[in-house]
Amino acid sequence: MTYQMPAPAQPFKIGTRGSPLALWQAHEVRRCLMAAFGLPEAAFEIVVIKVMGDQIQDKALKEIGGKGLFTREIEEALLAGAIDIAVHSMKDMPTLQPEGLILDCYLPREDVRDGFVSTQVASLMALPVGAVVGSSSLRRRAQVLHRRPDLKLVEFRGNVQTRMRKLDAGVAAATFLAMAGLNRLGLAHMARAAIEVTEMLPAVAQGAIGVERRVGNARAEAMLAEIHHGPTGQRLAAERAFLQALDGSCETPIAGLAVLEGDQLWLRGEILRMDGSKVIAGELRGAVADGAKMGRDLAAALLGRAGPGFF
C-alpha cells in the first residue's frame, strides 16, 4: 500500500445490480478496498440499482437493447454522483463507456469456462436427440447447434437460482452457467462438468469483475489503483479490442480468450453463424504490450475470411 486512505466523511458508495452474484461481486470489491486501506465496513455503502435487463425476463436481449441493459441505469447513477464506483460483470459490459466514465480496474479473473448444468444427463453429447436446451446467450446457442444441430434451443434468462428452477420445472433438459459465477456463489457442484475452452470458447471477458468510475474523481482513482489486477487487465485489453473491432453485441455470436504466457499473450477468437452452421476461428501470439492491436488484427483476419453478410 502506498499510503493510508482516511475514512471518508460520507460512506464510499458502491453501485451494483441486485442479483446474488452481483451483490457478491460488490461485497468482494468492498472487501478488497477495506483490506487495502484498513477501512471499516461502515466506510462503504452498497447501493442496489435496478436495471432494465433484470426487470424484463421474457424476451431475448437482442430484442430489448443488448448489453447496455445491464449497465445503463448504473452508469447514469455514476454520472449523476449518486454512487462513487460501479461494479460490473465484464462479459456484460459494452466495449465503449459513456463520456465521463472510465473502466480501468479489474479484480483477479476467475475460471473462464462454461459449466454444463442438467438434472438429466452428464454432458452435452449425452443429451437425447431433439432434447431442449435453454440459453439466452447467442454464443452458447450457436456453439451448441454447431455440435448438436438436432437439439432445440429455447430462451432461458434469469439469475442462477431462476435458471435452476426452470430446469427443475422441466422447461429444458440442460443449460449453461459460467463456472466463475458458480464458484463465487459456492455452487460449483451444480455443474455436471466444466467445459474445456478447447470445446467451448468462452465469452469475451467471462469470469472478470470490472470497477467503473467517473473521470476526474481522484479519490476513486487512487483507491481503485490499489486493488487493480494488472494481468487481468492485460488479458481483457486484447479480448475487448477483439470484440470492439467485430462490433460485438448481444446480436452477434462471438467468443474470445486471451492467456498470458510469460511476456507473451495467446489470443484465440471465433465468430459463428446464428444457427451454428459455420464457425470461423483463429489465434495470434505476440507481446503482452501489443494485446489491443492483436485483438484488432485477429478480428480483421476473421472478418476477412467470413466475407460480407456472415452474421
**Residue 275 catalytic?**
no
pLDDT tens per residue across span 191-215: 999 999 999 999 999 999 999 999 9
pLDDT tens per residue across span 268-280: 999 999 999 999 9
What pLDDT score was predicted for residue 299? 96
All three cell numbers of 178, joined, read 459460467
All three cell numbers of 273, joined, read 453463424
Reference 21, options 155, 164, 199, 135; nearest CA is: 164
Options 3.30.2310.20, 3.90.420.10, 3.40.190.10, 3.60.15.10; CATH for 12-108+208-228 is 3.40.190.10
φ and ψ at 290, to 5 degrees? -100, 15
Give every CB contact of residue 256 below 8 A, 6+ residues apart in sequence: 201, 202, 203, 204, 239, 242, 243, 267, 268, 269, 270, 295
What CATH number is given for 114-195 in this structure? 3.40.190.10
- Domains of the chain, residue spans: 12-108+208-228, 114-195, 242-304
What is the total residue count of the chain? 311
pTM: 0.90
What CATH number is given for 242-304 in this structure? 3.30.160.40
pLDDT of 295 higher than 60: yes
What pLDDT score was predicted for residue 54? 56
pLDDT tens per residue across span 65-113: 555 667 889 999 999 999 999 999 999 899 999 999 999 999 999 999 9
Q: Is 158 exposed, middle or buried (0-12, 13-18, 19+ CB in 10 A)?
A: middle
pLDDT of 57 higher than 70: no
For residues 236, 225, 46 and 11, what is the CA-based torsion angle, rounded to 10 degrees?
A: -160
3-state percent breakdown (helix, strand, coil) of the chain, nearest 5: 40, 25, 40
Of 84, 92, 114, 297, the catalytic one is 92
Same fold, 114-195 and 242-304: no
